[in-house]
Amino acid sequence: MKIIEGTISSPKGFHADGLHCGLKKKKKDIGWIVSDVVANAAAVYTTNQVKAAPISITRKAIEHGQTLQAILVNSAVANACTGEQGIKDAESCQKMAAEKLGIEPNNVGIASTGVIGHLLPMKTLQNGIEALQVESGDSYGFHQAILTTDLVTKEITVETVVKGKTVTMSGVAKGSGMIHPNMATMLSFITTDAVISGELLQELLKTTVDATYNQITIDGDTSTNDMVIIMANGCAENEEILKGTPEYTAFVEMFHFVAQTLAKKVARDGEGATKLIEVSVKNGIDRESSRMIAKKVVGSSLVKSAIFGEDPNWGRIICAIGYAGPKIQPEVVDISLGDQEVLKNGQPVPFNESSMLSVLKQDTVCIEVDLKMGQAAGIAWGCDLTYKYVEINACYHT
Report the 3 state secondary structure along the chain.
CEECCCCCCCCCCEEEEEECCCCCCCCCCEEEEEEEEEEEEEEEECCCCCCCHHHHHHHHHHHHHCEEEEEEEECCECCCCCHHHHHHHHHHHHHHHHHHHCCCHHHEEEEECCECCCCCCHHHHHHHHHHCCCCCCCHHHHHHHCCCCCCCCEEEEEEEEECCEEEEEEEEEECCCCCCCCCCCCEEEEEECCCCCHHHHHHHHHHHHHHCHHHECCCCCCCCCCEEEEEECCCCCCCCCCCCCHHHHHHHHHHHHHHHHHHHHHHHCCCCCCCEEEEEEEEECCHHHHHHHHHHHHHCHHHHHHHHCCCCCHHHHHHHHHHCCCCCCHHHCEEEECCEEEEECCEECCCCHHHHHHHHCCCEEEEEEECCCCCEEEEEEEECCCHHHHHHHHCCCC
In sign, the C-alpha dihedral spanning 229, 233, 235, 236 is positive
User: Cα–Cα distance between 332 and 337 in angstroms, integer?
Assistant: 17
- Cα angle: 21, vertex 27, 30; to 5 degrees: 40
Q: How many residues does the chain have?
A: 398
User: Cα–Cα distance between 110 and 93 in angstroms, integer?
Assistant: 8
Active site positions, annotated? 185
The count of other CB atoms within 10 Å of the CB of residue 355 is 11
